[in-house]
Amino acid sequence: MRRMYKAKRCPRCGTKNAYSQFRCTECGLIFSRVENGSNKIAKNLIMAGKKDQVVNAPMFPKDVSKKTFMLLCGFLGFWGAHNFYVGRYAKAVFQLIVGLFSIIATVLSSAIPNFDFFMSYLFLPVAIDAFMWMFDLVDGAINKYKIPVAVDFTEGADLVKNAVKK
């Protein structure tokens, strides 16, 4: 019988760790700190351009409401509302721009004849946006959506480096 190894992926560096590990063997991130990480602090850090201590963790942090996230994603997800809510601004801005353009294009295409050529340029970004929306909704529902949290990992990283040196 083959033995099954249960592994968990480090949300910071992507290394696969044994399920029993409390700290990433590669980057030293202490996993319990991710579970207690704050999304509000992470959003402030992202806005300030300091991403060093921000980790995208596939879970709902304590200061993010799943209900609010799911409602924003369900009703306004095509315009990136849920991504603005949790601070994934690059995705959010892309979705907002595509979302606004598709509204404008829909209005113009009914008013201006021969507008269809412009609509064909919009097809790909709209498809990407719609797929993002769909995957985000599913990931949110199964608690796998990656949400930025602020984590202090400096001490853990140093401990691992020192342990390797010995």
Between 66 and 161, name the residue whose CB sits nearer to Zn ion. 161
Between 17 and 83, name the residue whose CB sits nearer to Zn ion. 17
State both tokens at 159.
């401990």
Which residues, at least 6 apart from 91, have a Cβ–Cβ distance to it below 8 Å? 80, 83, 132
How far apart CA 157 and CA 153 sit, in angstroms, is 6
How far apart CA 34 and CA 157 sit, in angstroms, is 14
Between 17 and 102, name the residue whose CB sits nearer to Zn ion. 17
The stretch among 19-27, 84-92, 105-113, 129-137 that binds Zn ion (CB under 5 A) is 19-27
Near Zn ion by CB under 5 A: residue from 16, 21, 27, 74: 27
Near Zn ion by CB under 5 A: residue from 8, 16, 21, 26: 26
Run of H or E including 48: none
* Chain residues in the site for Zn ion (CB under 5 A): 10, 12-13, 15, 24, 26-27, 29
